Amino acid sequence: MKSKVSIIGAGMTGSTAAHWLAEREIADLVLVDVVEGMPQGKALDLQEALPVIGKDVSVTGSNDYAATAGSDIIVITAGLPRKPGMSRDDLLFANTNIVKKATEATIQYSPDAIYIVLTNPLDVMAYVTLKTAGLDPHRVIGQAGVLDSARMRAFVSMDLGVSIENIHCYVLGGHGDNMVPLTRASNVAGIPLEDILPADRLEAIVDRTRKGGGEIVSLLKTGSAYYAPAAAIAQMVEAILKDKHLIVPAAAYLTGQYGLKDIFFGVPVQLGRKGVEKVYEYQLSDQEMAALKKSAEGVKENIAKLNF
Ligand SMILES: NC(=O)c1ccc[n+]([C@@H]2O[C@H](COP(=O)([O-])OP(=O)(O)OC[C@H]3O[C@@H](n4cnc5c(N)ncnc54)[C@H](O)[C@@H]3O)[C@@H](O)[C@H]2O)c1
C-alpha cells in the first residue's frame, strides 16, 4: 500500500511541494485549500503531467478535509505569506487561526499522522499545531533549517565555484533574521568555512543567509519563496516515509536541549518513520550559544502572545 501525504494549503509552497513529491514517487498526494476549484485544478494538472515523467502516484485536490483521511503525513502550508516590508512575525495572529483550524480538521481524520509545518512564523506555528492536536512532540516538525541551510550552501557554492555536493552548512535557531548560521560546523569537503573563506566574504554569506527569505520577497513583490521551501518539505517527507534516520536542521520541540524548554526551535534532528527520533546537541562556543539564546527570545515572545 502506498503512503499518503496531505498538503493543507495548495498555494505556491503547497502545490510546489506536491510537484517535488510526485517526482519522487513516494506517496499518493492530496491537496486541500479553502479556494474552490483551485486544489482540484492543480491536482488534475499535476496528475496529467505524471504520464510524461513516468511516475505512478495519485494526486487529488479537495476543499473537504475528509479527503485527507488516513494520511501518514500532513503538511501544513495554509496561511498568508509575507509581503515586501513585512516580517514573518507580522503574520502571527492571522496564521494562528488558520493553522489551528487546519490542525483540528486533519487530526480527526488522520490520528496517527506526523505533521510537518511550514506556515510562518514557523517556530510558533509548529507550537500551535502541537498544542492544538495534543500530540507527542516527536510527531510535529517545523521546516526551516533545511531551507536556511540550503540557501547558505547555495551562496557558498556561488562564491567558491565548488559543487553544492561538497558543501555542508548548518543553520540553527528560529526562522527569522536572528537565525544562527554555524560557520564553525559548516564545511567544504571537510574544510571549515572559516578556513576556506576570508572573513569578509564569510560574513557577507552569513548576512545574506539570514536575509535570504526577505531577498526573494523583495524581488517577487507578491508572495514569498516556494521552490526551495517546497524542496525542503519533500526531503523531510522522504526521510520520514523511508525511515532514513536522516539528520537535518529543523524545528523540533525542545525539552531542555540547548538550555531551552517548551519551544520549537531549529536544531539538528534525526528523522525516521516515527518523526523526530533524536535531537543532537553541538558543543557550542559562548558566542554561538548567546546567538541561539537571542534567537530563542523572539520565538518565546511570540508564543507568549498566544495564550496557549
Ligand atoms: N517555513 C518556511 O521556510 C517557509 C517558506 C516559505 C513560505 N512559508 C510560509 O508558508 C505559508 C504559505 O506560503 P505560500 O507561499 O504557499 O502562500 P500562498 O498564499 O501561495 O498559499 C497559501 C494557501 O493557503 C490557503 N489557505 C488559507 N487558509 C486556509 C485554510 N483555513 N485551510 C486551507 N487552506 C487555506 C490559501 O487559500 C492559499 O492558497 C506562509 O505563511 C509563508 O510565510 C514558510
Per-residue pLDDT of 275-305, as tens digits, reads 999 999 999 999 999 999 999 999 999 999 9
Residue type present at position 164: I
- Cβ-based neighbours of 215, under 8 Å, separated by 6 or more: 208
With vertex at residue 19, the alpha carbon angle to CA 103 and CA 42, rounded to the nearest 5 degrees, is: 75
Distance CA 4, CA 70 (A): 7
Which positions are catalytic? 175
96 lines ligand 1 (CB under 6 A): no
Average pLDDT over residues 160-189: 95
Q: Identify the residue whose C-alpha is closest to ligand 1 atom 43.
A: 81
Whole-number Å distance, alpha carbon 230 to ligand 1 midpoint, is 11
Whole-number Å distance, alpha carbon 93 to ligand 1 midpoint, is 14
Residue type present at position 82: R
Strands 187-188 and 167-168 turn out to be antiparallel
pLDDT given for residue 81 in this prediction:
82
186 lines ligand 1 (CB under 6 A): no
3-state secondary structure of 173: strand
Q: What is the band of 308 on the pLDDT scale with cuts at 50, 70, 90? A: confident
Residue type present at position 74: I
List strands edge to edge, sheet with 187-188: 167-168, 187-188, 191-192
The residue among 82 and 197 whose pLDDT is bigger is 197
Tell me: pLDDT of 1 over 80. Answer: no
Residue type present at position 51: P
Are 120 and 78 in contact by the 8 Å Cβ rule? The answer is no
Tell me: pLDDT of 82 over 90. Answer: no
Query: In terms of Cα–Cα distance, which of 59, 1, 50 is closest to 28?
Result: 59
Whole-number Å distance, alpha carbon 76 to ligand 1 midpoint, is 8
The widest CA-to-CA distance across the chain, in whole angstroms, is: 55
At 27-41, the pLDDT tens digits run 999 999 999 999 999
pLDDT given for residue 307 in this prediction:
83
To which residue does cell 513585512 refer? 86
13 lines ligand 1 (CB under 6 A): yes
Average per-residue pLDDT for the chain: 96
pLDDT given for residue 89 in this prediction:
83
Are 145 and 250 in contact by the 8 Å Cβ rule? The answer is yes
Are 21 and 27 in contact by the 8 Å Cβ rule? The answer is yes
At 83-100, the pLDDT tens digits run 888 888 888 999 999 999
Distance CA 69, CA 6 (A): 9
Query: In terms of Cα–Cα distance, which of 203, 141, 146 is closest to 172?
Result: 146
Average pLDDT over residues 138-150: 98
